[in-house]
């Protein structure tokens, strides 16, 4: 059974809703998936996991949240080479360019990007939450 960490930051609750659905999808696929807010997960714990699913909304000028998530991710990305990784988040403007930039960053880090980043405009709909569950399932399958 693969061990997956779902690590996210959420300001309005949109990305948190997505994180819950992603985690549920991974668990439904048989993974040992754990959900963490970014402030409750230490980079030193990464060696205990087989795969990672990161979630963060677009902030400001289409960037990752800068006070908590970005500093964490700078350290975390040193540990994702060769690992199955997926990305998700929400945005309110800009068309989700931050997600495409984030995908390129993760690929450059040598991670195995399991699927295209899942970016949802504003609050996730029921249909979007099904997509989130599917993303969790894809990572669980890739980690086995």
CB atoms within 10 A of CB 110: 12
Tokens representing 84 are 């199955």
Cβ-based burial of 126 (10 A; exposed 0-12, middle 13-18, buried ≥19): exposed
Phi, psi at residue 135, to the nearest 5°? Answer: -60, -45
Residue of 116, 95, 98 lying closest to 107 (CA atoms): 116
Enter the pTM of the model: 0.97
What's the confidence (pLDDT) of residue 50? 97
CATH 3.40.800.20 assigned to 3-143: no
What's the confidence (pLDDT) of residue 94? 79
Tokens representing 62 are 């289409």
What's the confidence (pLDDT) of residue 86? 98
Q: Per residue of the chain (144 residues), what is the pLDDT tens digit?
A: 799 999 999 999 999 999 999 999 999 999 999 999 999 999 999 999 999 999 999 998 789 999 999 999 999 999 999 999 999 999 988 788 899 999 999 999 999 999 999 999 999 999 999 999 999 999 999 998
What's the confidence (pLDDT) of residue 1? 77
């Amino acid at each position: 059974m693969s061990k997956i960490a779902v690590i996210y930051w959420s300001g309005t609750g949109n990305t948190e809703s997505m994180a819950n659905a992603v985690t549920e999808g991974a668990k439904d696929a048989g993974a040992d998936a754990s959900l963490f807010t970014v402030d409750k997960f230490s980079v030193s714990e990464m060696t205990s996991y087989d795969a990672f699913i990161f979630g963060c909304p677009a902030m400001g000028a289409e960037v990752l949240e800068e006070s908590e998530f970005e500093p964490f991710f700078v350290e975390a990305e040193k540990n994702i080479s060769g690992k199955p990784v997926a990305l998700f988040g929400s945005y309110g403007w800009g068309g989700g360019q931050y997600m495409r930039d984030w995908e390129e960053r993760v690929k450059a880090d040598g991670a195995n990007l399991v699927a295209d980043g899942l970016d949802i405009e504003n609050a996730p709909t029921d249909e979007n939450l099904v997509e989130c569950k599917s993303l969790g399932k894809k990572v669980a399958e890739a980690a086995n």
